[in-house]
Amino acid sequence: MTCGVYDYSAGACTTAQKPTILIGCLEFEGPFDRPWDIAEKKGVYAVLCLTDGLYELLDIGFSENLRASLLNHPDQDDWLDEFCGSLVAAVLYSDEMTDDEATLLIDSIERELSQNEF
């Protein structure tokens, strides 16, 4: 599932404690450029492409094992072929999130971001 183009400045995405990035109105951990920095936990992932100091959201989804899902994602080759920047991922860990809650969350992020398109 490709979400479209949404740009985020790369300069204002970190805190003193840990790197974070806002995707929609939610704060995700990351971005991570190494998959082993992502825990094998349940949650929502966002795949981003960093080009010229801006993040472009390529995909967003839910997984029981975030690291494994990103490493084995069926669209991985497409992401690498279509985008010339650096691929990174951001994650929102949630052990209690259900599939239905994740679907609602992802839909709300996509709606929010689509309202910001020009």
pTM score, whole prediction: 0.79
Does some domain include residue 1?
no
Does some domain include residue 79?
yes
Q: How many structural domains is the chain composed of?
A: 1
**C-alpha 45: how far from its chain's center?**
5
Does some domain include residue 38?
yes
pLDDT digits (tens, 9 = 90+) for 36-74: 899 999 999 999 888 888 888 889 999 999 999 999 988
Does some domain include residue 51?
yes
* Domain span including residue 71: 7-115
Q: 3-class DSSP state for residue 102?
A: helix
pLDDT at res. 32: 92
User: Could you tell me the CATH number of the domain that includes residue 81?
Assistant: 3.40.1440
Strand (E) or helix (H) holding 70: helix 66-71
